[in-house]
């Protein structure tokens, strides 16, 4: 059947499959983008690193920062329903933006073994990665 009659299409029920836009759903969807291996990516096998492994504190810091990043990403996604109010243009943030930020977070935490560079991360994520899309 190549052609469907227009009258039949007009009388049918239309279903749209859109992701929910509430904060809880956005956080769940953002957090689901990272599997267990990714959450424990800073763990090093015993003996393979110079210090014999990464401290659990750094892994916990990574998980905490990543959750904060997922929350921030979810707020940015929820912001779309208000249109361009307060922004000069509309940009639809996607999972790619979030995973790139997760890569940057991992690189920063690998570099600084003892302290979480909060000011650097806040600037990179807020002003460059997400803020750079909104001019």
**Per-residue DSSP letters for 68-88?**
HHHHHHHHHHHGGGGTTTTSS
Cα–Cα distance between 2 and 69 in angstroms, integer?
Answer: 48
Question: 3-state DSSP: the chain helix, strand, coil percent, rounded to 5?
Answer: 60, 0, 40
| Per-residue model confidence as pLDDT tens digits over 7-26 | 888 888 878 777 777 899 99
Token readout for 5 is 């009659």
Low-confidence winner among 49-53, 65-69, 95-99 (lowest mean pLDDT): 49-53
Per-residue pLDDT at 52 exceeds 60: no
Residue 2 has a pLDDT of: 75
pLDDT for 55 equals: 64
Q: Which is nearest to 76 in space by CA: 97, 102, 99, 57?
A: 97
| Mean pLDDT (whole number) for 48-54 | 49
Distances (CA, A) of 68 to 3, 15, 60, 92, 124: 50, 34, 12, 19, 14
């Amino acid at each position: 059947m190549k052609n469907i009659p227009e009258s039949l299409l007009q009388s049918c029920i239309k279903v749209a499959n859109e992701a929910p836009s509430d904060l809880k759903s956005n956080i769940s969807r953002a957090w689901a983008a990272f599997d267990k291996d990714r959450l424990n990516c800073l763990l090093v096998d015993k003996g393979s690193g110079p210090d014999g492994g990464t401290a659990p504190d750094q892994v916990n810091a990574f998980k905490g920062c990543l959750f904060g990043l997922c929350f921030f990403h979810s707020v940015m996604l929820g912001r779309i329903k208000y249109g361009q109010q307060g922004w000069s243009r509309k940009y639809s943030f996607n999972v790619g933006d979030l995973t790139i930020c997760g890569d940057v977070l991992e690189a920063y935490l690998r570099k600084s073994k003892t302290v979480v560079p909060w000011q650097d991360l806040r600037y990179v994520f807020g002003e460059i990665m997400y803020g750079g899309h909104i001019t």
